[in-house]
Structure 1
């Protein structure tokens, strides 16, 4: 009887939570399907930081039954109103209850300093999403999977290394952020250069402490621009085309983190125990022309069975953020319905 009352209260909170926390911008980069209901929710992670998220479900979902659920994290520097929402909007139409969240310190989630990046916190945010989904009355807590886009792919896999409640993981255009930063942000990183970089970060800590703030790395324009400027290298142009133009621009996604955040990623590598996920399955989705494929390919080699590397013909890295005509939703549906 007590459990029934708790579930009823949870259901009412989910239905009426509405705009209570996470709709301050009301700015999405895609159109919500008329077949889908999106509800703004918030909950705490284990560090007591409030996580802002959107819960998606089909309007005709039978809420008297239990359904499979997915937690989806954004590209590194992204927010729930971008790629995660695109995925959630599509997957909800396929029968999943889907939670798209803003990482700690970013978007509309809590935490200070703003725009902090942390391997520990970003991994924890996936497990916190599982915590929340397990309390939703119409979710089967034994059938929860995770989807990570870009940097969140590495965080989702790292969470699954230890969180057995995550029954299956799919990544799209995965980035291993710890490897990326330690290797020099896509540039050649010699030992000498790494020592110099760490010395600069160490000095930056004093400057942040004395100023009472946290200096950020460079960021995208604060208003969408009509086109990608000339002179950018192909990878930078690809990201600029998504984050800085009308295609994917969002005011909470500035493309910047505190400079000293990089120290944590250089000190605490992700994906050290990816083989521990087995026998739970992993699906790596990459674009045929994506610059980031080496991350997924190398982690695929480390992972134990069952695993699959799925290549999307003609797609680049960012195409898998929002191109609904390119993202293999049929493949994702089959993968998760067969494994959670």
Structure 2
């Protein structure tokens, strides 16, 4: 694995480049761009799990940190803006096509959780991506609009965002939201019972998956674009690449299970498949060997066929 950087406009995007065993610089390889979940980083599931295993299977894999997040450049920090996130994918493709070892006609994309929604959205307008995979992919815009599930949840959030952005423009301290409790013990103390929140805490706040850049923070005043965004908008028209969707069979509050089936139904792709991994939850698909191995058992033959 090599640490590399590439540009998104003036910003440096930090990435890890995973190379196949016995890598030969003069050979041309198929490549895959791998995207991390919301609030995550390249050292977690998108890189150390899926990136590493896909490289073992013979692919050059580029796992990157979103701009304004992780080790990538961009101020202010912790912006979760879909337009910025999707542009990162295009710039990742720009970087890969400059490498002599990459076959520009055999580039795929993979996204985990929110990275899955971004990967799908990017592939609709980035035709250099020839095959699209998602693991427990989430439509982040849909998730943000639902909020507390009240009919006006999105409007109420947008009103609060507007007030906060005005306050910050006048010199107030930024509002930084932290999505998770500090520990599983704190989650229990707070009486949290939601499966996805509990399992996210066990992943991000323990040795299971904890990384210094996987902070699960967001700048609240910049959340407006996400609330008005749909990861799968125009999938019926523009998403034509082969598509492999993987979801866990245990549905959680973040909605990856239903988002997976919505994407499957909406995608124009003639070749598409959805794998439901029985007995596994959203966060099991990040790290748990019996979950990730089943996902990879579908993804690797999929990429082998289409790249």
TM superposition score normalised by structure 1: 0.83
How big is the shift at 1:226?
A: 7.0
Secondary structure of 1:160's aligned partner: helix
Kept in 1, the 8 Å contact 2:133–2:244? The answer is: yes
Cross-structure match for 1:293: 257
Residues 298-330 of structure 1: CA deviation (Å, up to 9, x unaligned) = 111111222111111211001111223321212
Is 1:78 the equivalent of 2:35?
no
Pairwise CA RMSD of aligned residues? Answer: 1.7
Which residue, out of 309, 329, 332, partners 2:274? 309
How big is the shift at 1:278?
A: 4.6
Is 1:247 the equivalent of 2:208?
yes
Q: Residue 226 and residue 212 in structure 1: after superposition, are their counterparts in 2 closer, same or farther (change >3 A)?
A: closer
Secondary structure of 1:89's aligned partner: helix
User: Unaligned 5+ residue runs, structure 2?
Assistant: none
Matches within 5 A, 1:39-54: 39-45=2-8, 47-54=9-16
Q: Residue 168 and residue 276 in structure 1: after superposition, are their counterparts in 2 closer, same or farther (change >3 A)?
A: farther
Matches within 5 A, 1:29-178: 38-45=1-8, 47-85=9-47, 86-178=49-141
Q: Which segments of structure 1 move beyond 4 Å, counting only runs of 4 or more?
A: 219-222, 225-228
Kept in 2, the 8 Å contact 1:88–1:98? The answer is: yes
Aligned length: 297
User: Unaligned 5+ residue runs, structure 1?
Assistant: 1-37
Kept in 2, the 8 Å contact 1:151–1:176? The answer is: yes
Kept in 2, the 8 Å contact 1:227–1:245? The answer is: no
Residues 172-211 of structure 1: CA deviation (Å, up to 9, x unaligned) = 0011001110121xx31313x4333222111100122222
Kept in 2, the 8 Å contact 1:67–1:139? The answer is: yes
Q: Residue 195 and residue 330 in structure 1: after superposition, are their counterparts in 2 closer, same or farther (change >3 A)?
A: closer
How big is the shift at 1:77?
A: 0.7
Secondary structure of 1:254's aligned partner: coil
Is 1:198 the equivalent of 2:158?
yes
How many Å separate the matches in 1 of 2:25 and 2:129? 22
How many Å separate the matches in 2 of 1:330 and 1:196? 43
Kept in 2, the 8 Å contact 1:226–1:246? The answer is: no
Instruction: Select the structure of larger CA radius of gyration.
Output: 1
How many Å separate the matches in 2 of 1:276 and 1:338? 23
Cross-structure match for 1:324: 289
Which residue, out of 164, 168, 177, partners 1:217? 177
Kept in 2, the 8 Å contact 1:113–1:213? The answer is: no
How many Å separate the matches in 2 of 1:212 and 1:163? 39
Secondary structure of 1:297's aligned partner: helix
How many Å separate the matches in 2 of 1:276 and 1:48? 32
Kept in 2, the 8 Å contact 1:179–1:269? The answer is: yes
How many Å separate the matches in 2 of 1:330 and 1:254? 30
How big is the shift at 1:228?
A: 6.6
How many Å separate the matches in 2 of 1:219 and 1:104? 19
How many Å separate the matches in 2 of 1:188 and 1:284? 26
